[in-house]
Amino acid sequence: MVEKGLGKVLLSREHLQKIVERLGREITAAYQESENELVVIGLLRGSFIFMADLIRQIKLPMTTDFMTISSYGDGTVSSGDIKVVMDLDETISGCDVLVVEDIIDTGNTFSKVIRMLEARDPASLKICTLLNKPSRRKIDVQIDFCGMEIPDEFVCGYGLDYAQKYRNVPYVGIYTGSPV
């Protein structure tokens, strides 16, 4: 059953699970020879469900941390202005850092976050996104681990939201703009 306000299912629960398992294998392989501490940073709120599933698939010691960045408010289009609502608790200097994001579209917000993190002197900084919308890209973003490229649709579910709703939907669906 599709939730009211969401059109067709873009990614089923089963498809999401396969994507997360694949990404976990790729990330494990990429970091297995490193002697640096691995810090996995989730960008809240959208990444929390994806990140929880993902870290269980990464077969390496790690720590986790979170940042809350706001650029959407209650709209469906990023304003491009970012606000750091919650910063990291720990230093990342000298660590291998993996930033986990739910979706990268224009790159405006994400590129600013990456610059902030690079200034903190990590040993390495890699990006993992569940969803990539390259058709909307305005600023190039190097994505190291990508779940799936999607069309230019506003999507909700599996942590992604519209006005804080739909995060608990177990699949990714296309938002229709209908009342929630």
- pLDDT, tens digit (0-9, with 9 covering 90-100), for 44-55: 888 999 999 999
Instruction: Please tell me the distance from the alpha carbon of residue 154 to that of residue 77, in angstroms, as a whole number.
Output: 9
Q: Reply yes or no on whether 105 is catalytic.
A: yes
Cα dist from 85 to 22, 39, 88, whole Å:
31, 20, 10
pLDDT of amino acid 79: 53
Burial class (CB in 10 A: 0-12, 13-18, 19+), 152: exposed
Which one from 53, 102, 105, 161 is the annotated catalytic residue? 105
Q: What parts of the chain have a pLDDT lower than 50?
A: none
- Report the pLDDT value the prediction gives residue 74, as an integer from 0 to 100: 52
What secondary structure does DSSP assign to 49-67, as a single string? HHHHHHHTT--S--EEEEE
Tell me the domains of the chain and their CATH numbers: 13-150 (3.40.50.2020)
Task: Scan for tokens 């990006």, then name that residue.
Answer: 127
d(CA 37, CA 99): 14
pLDDT of residue 84: 84
Structure confidence at residue 35 (pLDDT): 96
Please tell me the predicted confidence (pLDDT) of residue 61.
97
